[in-house]
Chains A and B, each alone.
Chain A
Amino acid sequence: MAQQQWLNDLYAAAERAGFLVECQWWPAQPAANPPETAAVDLRQHADELLDGLLLANETVITFPVGRFSGMAVRDVVEMAGVRYSVREVRCLGDEIHARLCRL
């Protein structure tokens, strides 16, 4: 619990410092989970695949457990006007890592 609180405080500080981005989440089943907006850590980097034939961007958002509860594959999120589909959701300790692909 203390660690969770510490993590929440860390994310709050990061948000105040402008390190996070606002993310809107639309669950595939809104009856079970209503839409939600929260600040997340956004990481994007490009990788060369297929022996250098293709350049692909990997987009991952990270947020503390408790935000976007119930996020699942094929949910839609939007950040800065760009919509993404959730490809993978992993829980690592007290954080959720969600891999996205741009729609």
Chain B
Amino acid sequence: MGAVSIRERILQRLLAVLVPLATTAGASLHRSPTIALQRDDCPALVLFPESESITERANDRVTRELTVRLVALARAVPPDCAETAADVLLTAAHAALLTDSTLAGLALGLRETDIEFEVEEADGVVVALPVRYVITYRTLAADGSIQG
């Protein structure tokens, strides 16, 4: 197996930051699940890499912006409020991620861009709060596994 890209190391770092938080909150943590989560998997944090673009090229280096989507999933049976539970989980995840916005030196910075709200009736009420983050980092133009 060849070298791992900075992008993959960033994604793994994001998961590593979220693991203790998920454990404390009693939530499951998933990365790009291909099979639908079950009722017992909630509450959950789900991380998806969405896209990446190159925003700058200078000599033999490129600046990249990686967009990831972090979804906080929670369900509740009324009168309990699933939206509040999802919000608490997402707030804790956000604080954990922003504690070190350079992600152990892998990135130039991490910033939140937008959040959406999805509420569905699903054996109770399930709420999904997807929030997007953009992570800026640099690599060599010819080798994405070497920081620039």
Contacts and interface: CB of A to CB of B under 8 A. Distances in A.
Interface of A: 47-50, 52-59, 74, 85, 87, 101-103
Interface of B: 33, 36-39, 42, 46, 71, 73, 77-79, 118, 120-124, 126, 128
A53 B77 contact: no
B128 A53 contact: yes
Contacts of B128: 50, 53-54
27 contacts: A48-B36, A50-B118, A50-B126, A52-B36, A53-B33, A53-B37, A53-B71, A53-B73, A53-B128, A54-B36, A54-B73, A54-B120, A54-B126, A55-B38, A55-B39, A56-B120, A56-B123, A57-B123, A58-B123, A74-B79, A85-B77, A85-B124, A87-B124, A101-B123, A102-B123, A102-B124, A103-B77
A59 B33 CA distance: 25
Chain A interface secondary structure, helix, strand, loop or mixed?
Answer: strand
